[in-house]
Structure 1
Amino acid sequence: MTMTLAAVTLLLLVATLLPLWRHPHWLVRGMDFPRLLLAVAAVLLLLAQCTLLPLAAPLSWGLLAATAACLLWQFWWIAPYTPLWRKEVKSSCNDDPSVRLGIMTANVLATNRNAQPLLQLVQAYQPDVLVTLESDQWWQDQLDVLEPVMPHSLKCPLDNFYGMHVYSRLPMDDTSIEYLVEDSIPSMHAVVTLRSGDKVRLHFLHPAPPSPTENPESAERDAELVMVARSVVDSRLPVVVTGDLNDVAWSATTRLFRAISGLLDPRVGRGMFNTFHADYSFLRWPLDHLFHSEHFTLRTLRRLPPIGSDHFALFTELVFTPARGADQEGLDATREDHALARSITDAKQVSAADVPMPGEHAL
């Protein structure tokens, strides 16, 4: 029994330490995802060790120490996404619709052929902006029914699971569809005008994940996130970045994005809001994200009911309150963060200058 527990402890230790290696291979980066599961496994393993190991033996204490260290390390990464942490974004009860911005982010699953659940959510929540990922021409035909109430749109129907659509009640200007890193992976960029007249810079992203069936490395995904982060850090306009980033909230790459961009994560101190996989409650993590500048506080953040996809939709309602949000702080980028960000974009020969800056040139 001791050798069996030692083998399990070794596996846990390898899974915990592997992400410390900055190699972009999908197997290495994939270990960022199951941190919550690994933390639960560490708790169960500790219980088994305390019950079954001869505690008088030095090896037993070594195994207990290794497992406890793994648990603490995993908890350090996931703790910000629990109510135990201080909220990064202030809550708001502002009822003034002129300064609110409601965004619904939905990966619809390209093979899903039932649009009614999503359309019903749009009717129920009345988002100002709807962004869909994996939406092809069939989905565009279904979503065009929204045009009478959401007349402003960006459309990029694709059959490769990377189509993207944006429908907006609010005016969108300076719009563009770009292929920042990969020729088949679009992103969308626009400036939206709130009912108050204030303008907000929006970026919608869906980079490809590191996986054996798509990109064997995370280099493309990481480069897209980093170049957008470097683009928005000095924005003169309020900024929102949202989409299915194919990365978990607690990964080193997402942490780097937050540090370099200076954007805030409204989930911090509130919860994980796991949006994938909708069909397996024991295997879920936060893949769909929304980050914003300090100009906003938070009115609503909600994972929505199923829509027939492998993702849940996410609804976020922000309130434009720059005076109240001025003292909100996210992560600070270190010299090492900046050096790592440069190396990531240099490896793919891309830069922040390749990212559109909607609305900035008019200032």
Structure 2
Amino acid sequence: MRFGHHFLSVMLGVIGILLGIASLPIWGESVTPQLAPLEHLRIGFAWLSIGLLMVTLPLRRFLAALVFGLIAFLNLFYLLPTFLTLDRGAPPPAAQHFTLLHANIWNRNPTTDAIAAMVNRERPDIAVMLETFHGLQEPWLPALDLHWPYRADCGAAGCANLILSRWPLTILGQNSSWFNAKGSPATLAVRVHHPAGDFTLVATHLAQPFDPVFQAQEGAWLARYLLTLPPPLVVTGDFNSAPWSPLIRKLEQQAGITRIARTGPTWPSGPLNPFGIPIDHMLGGPGVSAANVRRLPPFGSDHLALLAEIALTPQAVGPAKPAGEGGGTAALVPTP
């Protein structure tokens, strides 16, 4: 019995040390591939530490309970600010607004019929689809309703981003790291010609955090690029980064945008989702907000899709202009 108590104490101590070290706010800036992803796992760390706290209290292991309580507090300190400022209801009546669907469809999605079914069911005004490596030849596109006559992809740049729209689009820029400069993310920027006024929409997909130096380069490139685009600005993408990570915080600061759609984890989409990571984000520049934000049911991808109502403060906007770094000549998407 004494050995069992001693063994339990040792195990709780080892778990506490490892979990405490993993929860330290230092790994997001790490250049070590094995350590950088730890910063994005805070939801899992929080659940684990709270569970261990609940286990150790009845066992009267008060020192261990204190340690796990402090670890839970540390993780919640970073988590809660990214979730608390949530949906504020319907957008102001005077604001220009539209519904936006964002989905990383996963290039290995075995149920392509479910992709078209989801888009047809939700009927957003604009749909941004990532990992569409066949571009305008995606096999599920013919099954869509005629609700989205305007479609844009990256063409030769091969960024695997696709935008479907009710309204005309002008392509401002198409970019991918293999086609353009290394260290620049897969990005498609368009000017949407909404009846109430134009706005810029950017779809982007950053690298995974297992190469933190490369991912940081992509974030810095994206921040510079967004500053070259005409407002109002809406950005949606798979950033492969949690909202509390240094990458997202720096992007918001450097590009003058904020995360407007705050949800729970979007990856993975399966049973482990409650312990996962919010890596799909919608962000907006000044005058842009989101309401009625929700995660959609699984559709065969390893990500959950996001749907939100985006509101834009009325403001005068100029004509579309060529994108800056990584961009090309603005080109109107022809009417089908």
Structures share fold, TM-score greater than 0.5: yes
Q: Distance in 2 between matches of 1:86 and 1:185?
A: 28
**Corresponding residue for 1:202?**
201
Are the aligned partners of 2:152 and 2:169 in contact in 1 as well (CA < 8 Å)? no
SS at match of 2:49: helix
Are the aligned partners of 1:225 and 1:257 in contact in 2 as well (CA < 8 Å)? yes
Pick aligned residue for 2:133 from 136, 139, 156: 136
- 1:290 matches 2:282: yes
Which runs of 5 or more structure 1 residues have no equivalent in the other structure? 212-216, 324-351
Tell me the matched-pair count.
310
**Corresponding residue for 2:325?**
354
Q: Distance in 1 between matches of 2:175 and 2:228?
A: 20
List per-residue Cα deviations over 1:36-65 (Å, max 9, x = no partner): 11112212223344344565xxxx3xx555
Q: Distance in 2 between matches of 1:5 and 1:53?
A: 13
- 1:179 matches 2:176: yes
**Corresponding residue for 1:26?**
33
Are the aligned partners of 1:18 and 1:28 in contact in 2 as well (CA < 8 Å)? no
Q: Say if 1:140 and 1:182 are closer, same or farther in 2 by CA, change over 3 A.
A: farther
One-letter amino acid matched to 1:75: L
What percent identity do the matched residue pairs reach? 21
Are the aligned partners of 1:274 and 1:287 in contact in 2 as well (CA < 8 Å)? yes
One-letter amino acid matched to 2:209: P
Are the aligned partners of 1:207 and 1:220 in contact in 2 as well (CA < 8 Å)? no
One-letter amino acid matched to 2:109: N
**Corresponding residue for 1:119?**
116
Shift, 1:35, TM fit: 0.6
Shift, 1:170, TM fit: 1.4
List per-residue Cα deviations over 1:226-250 (Å, max 9, x = no partner): 3222343575511111111111222
- 1:277 matches 2:268: yes
Are the aligned partners of 2:190 and 2:202 in contact in 1 as well (CA < 8 Å)? yes
SS at match of 2:79: helix
Q: Distance in 2 between matches of 1:195 and 1:131?
A: 19
One-letter amino acid matched to 2:325: D
One-letter amino acid matched to 1:208: A
Q: Distance in 1 between matches of 2:13 and 2:114?
A: 48
Q: Say if 1:137 and 1:51 are closer, same or farther in 2 by CA, change over 3 A.
A: same
SS at match of 2:276: coil
SS at match of 1:34: helix
**Corresponding residue for 1:78?**
79
One-letter amino acid matched to 2:215: R
Shift, 1:77, TM fit: 1.2
Q: Say if 1:113 and 1:95 are closer, same or farther in 2 by CA, change over 3 A.
A: farther
For normalisation by structure 1, the TM-score amounts to: 0.75
Q: Say if 1:27 and 1:314 are closer, same or farther in 2 by CA, change over 3 A.
A: same
List per-residue Cα deviations over 1:320-340 (Å, max 9, x = no partner): 2258xxxxxxxxxxxxxxxxx
One-letter amino acid matched to 1:289: H
Q: Distance in 1 between matches of 2:245 and 2:186?
A: 23
Q: Distance in 2 between matches of 1:251 and 1:322?
A: 32
SS at match of 1:354: coil
Q: Distance in 2 between matches of 1:16 and 1:118?
A: 36
Are the aligned partners of 1:152 and 1:167 in contact in 2 as well (CA < 8 Å)? yes
One-letter amino acid matched to 2:161: M
One-letter amino acid matched to 1:204: A
Shift, 1:261, TM fit: 2.2
Q: Distance in 1 between matches of 2:216 and 2:28?
A: 15
Q: Say if 1:157 and 1:41 are closer, same or farther in 2 by CA, change over 3 A.
A: farther
One-letter amino acid matched to 1:171: P
One-letter amino acid matched to 1:278: S
Are the aligned partners of 1:298 and 1:318 in contact in 2 as well (CA < 8 Å)? yes
